[in-house]
Chains A and B, each alone.
Chain A
Amino acid sequence: MTTSTPTRSALIEPDRRLPALGGFAPGALLIELRRVLRNRRTLAFTLIMPGVFFLIFGLPQSGQSLDNGRPVTAYVMISLAVYAAMVATTSVGGAVATERALGWSRQLRLTPLRPAAYVATKLITAMSLGLLAVVIEFLVGAVAGVRVPAYVWLLSGLAAWVGSLVFAAFGLFIGYLAPAENVMQIIGPVLAVLAMFGGLFVPVEVLPDVLQQVAKFTPVYGMGVLARAPLTGDGVSLAAVANLVVWALLFGVGAARLFRRDTARV
């Protein structure tokens, strides 16, 4: 008898192997990316709003210069690129909360996908959106007339992007902490306050003295200093680097611990 469906025994055996890389797959990553880019809320907060901020708060300062003669608009643009990247990466990481609340994580546990592969997908998605956020902010700046040497574009952009890894970890941390579906509504204002302390909206130097001291210990401070260093020519202080590293570790370890608790069998 001829049939289009092979018999079970012929069909199964060679296919019953474990997937490579714990089920991590570029194809799934692409769908994930498409999904993120379809989310209007994410797009509004990470790709559109920071650009609009630049046009409102940066552009009016055209013609003004920093101490080293570089344009103030570039300072604002880089700061807002850091802001855009951190909101982008946080929102992707924080989406884990939604997926847990919806029960998708439970559904995934019935597939060969290993939890580490799931987190890797989230991190890559977060960093992709973070990169897009930086590039768009820089494009808005460039079109609006910001002119700085190529190495500033490159190094500042790179620092803003790499620094946002801290917030990808922060997003995952919150994602595994909060069981809420609407977690970004809660984190949004928190991010704004952190950005304020990190000198992304106004230079830290204009804050009251006490707050300036506090600001140095908040998680955006380090990445802000690093991202602007190529522009301002200021040396990168050890404190700024330490700030970045310590927060990256704190959020990274925190996320890993919560993640392990979440995937433990009870």
Chain B
Amino acid sequence: MTSTHPAVELDGLTKRFGAVTAVDGLSLRVQPGEVVAFLGPNGAGKTTTIDMLLGLSRPDTGTVRVLGGTPDDAVARGRVAAVLQTGGLLKDLTVGETVRMTAHFYRHTRPAAEVLERAGITDIADRVVGRCSGGQQQRLRFALALLPDPDLMVLDEPTTGMDVEGRRDFWQALRRDARRGRTVIFATHYLDEADAYADRIVLVRQGRIVADGTTAEIKNLAAGRTVRATLPGADQAALAALPGVDAVEVRGDSVLVRTGDSDAVARHLLTRTAARDVEITSRNLEDAFLALTTAQTGA
């Protein structure tokens, strides 16, 4: 391998914009070869963190090391490449020209034809960028990022604004390209994307990491359900003692149970108590976030 350094070392990163603390003491270490999803809601601080990671902005406090060096050096040597959420393209160049022009800025790149092929846009190489769909433009950005054959690839919400088919094509291109040894970090809102393409998920909220684990571990956090029922005078302790129950909340005559085993809770409520109007809903990612942040402040 090229080095024994971690691919990314973020240490105590903080970034403020006026009164907003976009990133709040964030530390993260990513080993070479890991595929990491940066998962979080709008405004969580994903883009701000990625900007600092790429050297596009400077942290107020904390340090960034990329592949053992500074972000600027890693960029200049083509060791890190990125698909940005906001990076633009020249509308009046063709797809092929954009790739060839960008290739000229590097010391050495993979052949233009190869990256076009790997990004799945060979057939539109002669098309003017302004006439490409959002998804095609995103795959062009991906092709540009492939040019230097980077050790670290960073993608900030690469499929935002794409339809289902566009998203699938994009991830297929990324997966086709997935090579042993390349570290990938991508930001996303979508748990399913993180699930399908990452080995590790880092959950961010309000500029902090609220959970960090394997895909399976994080999925469990979001996999539970909420059982709601009308049950005056519910016995909170009894409910909490049921297998799989994470939390029990009483709101007036209603009781809400967060659980990994909704069947057991429903069965209990319907057979052992006077509960009525039983509803079972899947917990979504937002619930998982809420659960996580609540758990953290409680701890």
Name A's B-contacting residues (CB within 8 A): 8-9, 11-20, 23, 25, 27-28, 31-32, 34-35, 38-39, 99, 101-104, 106-113, 265-266
Contact = CB atoms under 8 A, between A and B. Distances in A.
B100 interface: yes
Contact of B88 (A15, A31, A102): A102
Interface string B141-181: 10011000101000000000000000000000000000111
Interface residues of B, number: 40
A23 B180 CA distance: 29
Given A11-B149, A112-B78, A106 B93 contact: no
Given A9-B2, A112-B78, A103 B100 contact: no
A112 B148 CA distance: 10
A265 B72 CA distance: 11
Contacts of A99: 88, 90
Contacts of A102: 88-91
Interface stretch (B5-13, B50-58, B251-259): B50-58
Nearest to B75: A110
Given A8-B2, A106-B56, A110-B82, 13 more contacts: A8-B1, A8-B179, A8-B181, A12-B2, A16-B77, A31-B93, A34-B97, A99-B90, A104-B88, A107-B88, A110-B54, A112-B75, A112-B76
A35 B2 contact: no
B88 to A, nearest CB: 3
B78 A104 contact: no
Contacts of A106: 56, 84, 86-88
B92 A15 contact: no
Which of B90, B97, B104, B144 has the most chain A CB atoms inside 10 A of its CB? B104
B108 interface: yes
Interface in B1-31: 1-2
Given A35-B92, A35-B97, A18 B77 contact: yes
B89 A15 contact: no
A28 B93 CA distance: 12
A157 B47 CA distance: 51
Contacts of A20: 107
At the interface, is chain B mostly helix, strand, loop or mixed?
Answer: loop
Nearest to A15: B108
- The 8 nearest A-B residue pairs measured at CB: A103-B88, A15-B108, A102-B88, A25-B104, A28-B104, A107-B87, A23-B105, A113-B105
B58 A266 contact: yes
Contact of A265 (B58, B82, B108): B58
A104 B92 contact: no
B79 interface: yes
Interface in B192-251: none
Contacts of B106: 19, 23, 111-112
A28 B82 CA distance: 21
A14 B108 CA distance: 9
Which of B106, B144, B149 has the most chain A CB atoms inside 10 A of its CB? B106
B101 interface: yes
Contacts of B63: none
Nearest to A26: B104
Contact of B100 (A8, A27, A39): A27
B22 to A, nearest CB: 12
B116 interface: no
Contacts of A109: 56, 75
Contacts of A112: 75-78, 105-107
B88 A12 contact: no
A113 B82 CA distance: 15
A38 B58 CA distance: 38
